[in-house]
Amino acid sequence: MQSLLFVTGTRADFGKLEPLATAARLAGFKVSFFVTGMHLMARYGLTKLEVQKTPGIVSYEFMNQRAGDPQDTILAKTVLGFSDFVAEQKPDLVIVHGDRVEALACALVCATNYVRCAHIEGGEVSGTIDETFRHCNSKLANYHFVSSAAAGKRVQALGEPVESVHVIGSPELDFHSQNSGVSLAEVKSRYDIGFDDYGICVFHPVTSEASQMEAQAKTLYGQLKASGRNFVLILPNNDPGSEAIFDVINALPNSQFRAIPSMRFAHFSELMKNASVMVGNSSAGVREAPFLGVPSLDVGTRQTNRAQGPSIHSTAALDAQNISDFLESQWGKRYPPHTAFGEGNATERFVKTLQDPEFWQGGLQKEFVDAT
């Protein structure tokens, strides 16, 4: 059976890739992970340990960065490391996700070495350089597993053939659609969360707005504090501008805020299901939260035009009044599940595609297909 190598650089992409990897392993594929990026950094929770716990799957680790490295340096280091790794391991298919620089580096290595590469969740739009990286990954990859029909059309608009595009939905929704396997009491105990009623805030830096992140963070967290509500904060990723966000978070009162570097996916799922609101600029606010019926506020430009739904609200990053109004009007509300990005069967569709012999018979020389 063919060997599949999944590339993961963050807690977020692992939450999307793990269901696919597990389903593929159970279907008889040989599955491994190339673990790099934030996973290996203690400041972000050393989440490589979560990858290592995936049953029946081998993980390989590569340190591709030090704190403060710019994205081009991280890209270069990852290209060098992954090139050596692929030459030794010779996987039949490399699977990358989304828009991170690690995915871009690995997709580039695959393209230049004619290694089959599949891209998860291509064709989506946002408001930062992440979108550029995402579209680059789509052009470099041979196969596309997208979350929606609209995303699939965008991938085709990039010149990719329709037969290479497979609409499966968002993989993480498969997990959210099921019982998490842990209770809310267990989540609170494990992560020392003392709030009965709480919101969740995840606010990442926007690389093209790094100089503005301090002002944006002060506005957002200032309104959360002024609301008097309790919040669980998931700390930001390591993109440029993160230090300014950390400085603002570190000044918040522990009596009202619980800051956590990272959470196990099952625990985060259970925490989200019971949250009163979701605030910030994480994809979880425009993807998982609507699926769970939790009202969310998308702050700033990071997820611009990414998704629409009745439970999703948006605001400019510096609009303090809009943030305050959302917390006042939406706290504790519930919406019907929003299924525009899948109904919880992405893994089944993914494995079915891989099991089709025709999937493996296509050539690796890509051609641009004009839109009709």
Residue 294 carries which DSSP code? -
What pLDDT, on the 0 to 100 scale, is given for residue 1?
83
- The closest alpha carbon to 4, from 35, 26, 23, 32, belongs to 32
What pairing do the DSSP bridges indicate for beta strands 278-280 and 199-202?
Answer: parallel
**Are the CB atoms for 259 and 233 separated by under 8 Å?**
yes
- The closest alpha carbon to 287, from 96, 6, 12, belongs to 12
| C-alpha to C-alpha distance for 4 and 167, rounded to whole angstroms | 20
What pLDDT, on the 0 to 100 scale, is given for residue 212?
95
- The closest alpha carbon to 23, from 357, 269, 270, 352, belongs to 352
CA distances from 44 to 26, 38, 107 (A): 30, 6, 24
CA distances from 337 to 173, 292, 295 (A): 11, 6, 11
Paired strand residues for 96: 119
Q: What does pTM read for this prediction?
A: 0.86
What pLDDT, on the 0 to 100 scale, is given for residue 153?
96
In the chain, CATH 3.40.50.2000 sits at: 3-176+343-360, 184-330
What pLDDT, on the 0 to 100 scale, is given for residue 340?
83
**Are the CB atoms for 252 and 225 separated by under 8 Å?**
yes
| Phi-psi group of 191: left, alpha or beta (phi > 0 → left; psi -120 to 50 → alpha; rest → beta) | alpha
Q: Which strands make up the sheet holding 165-167, listed edge to edge? A: 58-61, 30-35, 3-8, 93-97, 117-120, 143-146, 165-167
Q: Which CATH number fits domain 184-330: 3.10.105.10, 1.10.600.10, 3.40.50.2000, 3.40.50.10860?
A: 3.40.50.2000
Going residue by residue through the chain (372 aa), what tens digit of pLDDT does each one get? 899 999 999 988 999 999 999 999 999 999 999 999 999 999 888 999 999 999 999 999 999 999 889 999 999 999 999 999 999 999 999 999 999 999 999 999 999 999 999 999 999 988 678 899 999 999 999 999 999 999 999 999 999 999 999 999 999 998 898 899 999 999 999 999 999 999 999 999 998 899 999 999 999 999 999 999 999 999 998 888 999 999 999 999 999 999 999 998 899 999 999 999 999 999 999 989 999 999 999 999 998 878 788 999 999 999 999 999 999 999 999 999 998 888 889 999 999 999 999 999 988 999 999 977
Q: H/E element holding 259?
A: strand 257-260
Residues 6+ apart with CB under 8 A from 188: 194, 195
Token code pair at residue 258: 């619980």
What pLDDT, on the 0 to 100 scale, is given for residue 49?
93
Q: Please give the CATH topology (third level) of the domain spanning 3-176+343-360.
A: Rossmann fold (3.40.50)
| C-alpha to C-alpha distance for 10 and 17, rounded to whole angstroms | 11
83-106 per-position pLDDT tens digit: 999 999 999 999 999 999 999 999
Residues 6+ apart with CB under 8 A from 41: 65, 67, 238
Residues 6+ apart with CB under 8 A from 223: 320, 323, 324, 327
What pLDDT, on the 0 to 100 scale, is given for residue 160?
97
By CB neighbour count within 10 A (0-12 exposed, 13-18 middle, 19+ buried), where does 253 fall? Answer: exposed
What pLDDT, on the 0 to 100 scale, is given for residue 305?
78
